[in-house]
Structure 1
């Protein structure tokens, strides 16, 4: 069983919600990035979404765009991100999901990319610019043993497509809480409750909510529907303001996880 599925199965047994964080790979450095992953593992973060820097991150708002640019300026590329995961795996089995754009995979080579994910221990992929109808190419290779799971995203306008999107979905379903890009400060869609209930009704796998979340209080009204929360832009802000201090990062994650449960 994939690490993501193992972790979520364990949380379900304990009747607990998952905390998933997003961080840009390569910040504040390759070594520092690895230390932050390990610190989060200690703090109780359940799954880490590791953003592979890209020059044109169309699904992301200004905070993640800037972080991606900074990481690229430091020389971070997909090869170095694979190196980070490989080194983390010597000491940690925390589930790691790559959030990246399809051009990165195409440039690397789809088959070669999947093989490298298997080799270093990447558990999942989120590819926001790859529509469901165009996932056939990569799905050919994701059937390999120990290959990462392709996480499906749904949005408030996905209503008619939800059954199709979730038909063969694995891991968790990523519910985008609002229209637009990441980091919109808890400005959720006006029909967020109804939308999440529709996804939950259809989904056979855990339902996670992301975009615009800062604290566990933001998702309190949805607590009985969702299975966890994803924090991205705000988490990057927190880390940057704390100058990537590991104790501050651990404190934020542990408090969020405690309040979420």
Structure 2
């Protein structure tokens, strides 16, 4: 069983919500990224989305764009991100999902990329610029043993597409809570409960909510529907403002997890 599926099964048995974070690989450094991953595992984070820096992250707002640019300037590339996962896997088994753009995979070579994911211990992939209709090539390679799960994203405009998107989905479904890019503070979609309820009704796997979340209080009004929350831009801001202090990171993750399950 994939690490993501195993973790989500454990949470279901404990009747707990999942706490998922996004962090940009390579910040504050390669070793610093590894340290933060291990710290989060200790603090109770359930799954980590590890952002592979890209020059044009179209689904992301200014916070993650800036983090991606800074990481690239430090020399981070896909091979080094694979190295991060390999090093972490020596003593840490927290589920790790690559959040990345398809150009990076195409340039690396799709089959080679999947094989490298398997060898290094990557558990899942989120590729926001890869439409469902164009997932055939990579899905063909993801049928291999121990290959990562391709996480499906749905948005408030998905509507009639939701059953199709979720028919063979694995791991969890990533529900985008607002229209636009990550890190927006303009509030969730006006019909957020109706939208999340429709996804939940159509899904046989856990439903996670992301975009625009900074604390457990942000999801209080939909906690009865969702199975977990994803924090990205707010988490990056926290780390930046506190110079990537591991103690601050652990406190934030531990607190969020407790409040989410209060």
TM range (shorter): over 0.9
Show the counterpart of 1:145.
Answer: 145
Alignment of structure 1 residues 36-115 onto 2, 5 Å: 36-115=36-115
Show the counterpart of 1:154.
Answer: 154
**How far did residue 186 of structure 1 move?**
6.1
User: What's the TM-score once normalised by structure 2's chain length?
Assistant: 0.99
Mapped contact 1:53–1:72 kept (Cα < 8 A) = yes
Query: In terms of mean alpha carbon deviation, does 63-72 or 177-186 score higher?
Result: 177-186
**How far did residue 185 of structure 1 move?**
2.4
Secondary structure of the corresponding residue to residue 257 of structure 1: helix
Question: Take 2:147 and 2:227, find their aligned partners in 1: how far apart are those partners?
Answer: 24
Show the counterpart of 1:116.
Answer: 116
Alignment of structure 1 residues 207-226 onto 2, 5 Å: 207-226=207-226
Give deviations 1:86-135, integer Å, cap 9, x for gaps. Answer: 00000100000000000000000000000000000000000000000000
Mapped contact 1:186–1:211 kept (Cα < 8 A) = no
Question: Take 2:187 and 2:56, find their aligned partners in 1: how far apart are those partners?
Answer: 24
Q: What's the RMSD between the two structures over aligned residues?
A: 0.5
Show the counterpart of 1:126.
Answer: 126
Secondary structure of the corresponding residue to residue 23 of structure 1: strand
Question: Take 2:12 and 2:140, find their aligned partners in 1: how far apart are those partners?
Answer: 30
User: What's the TM-score once normalised by structure 1's chain length?
Assistant: 1.00
Secondary structure of the corresponding residue to residue 21 of structure 1: strand
Secondary structure of the corresponding residue to residue 53 of structure 1: coil
Q: Following superposition, which runs of at least 4 residues in structure 1 exceed 2 angstroms of deviation?
A: none
Show the counterpart of 1:243.
Answer: 243
Question: Take 1:64 and 1:152, find their aligned partners in 2: how far apart are those partners?
Answer: 20
Unpaired runs of at least 5, structure 2: none
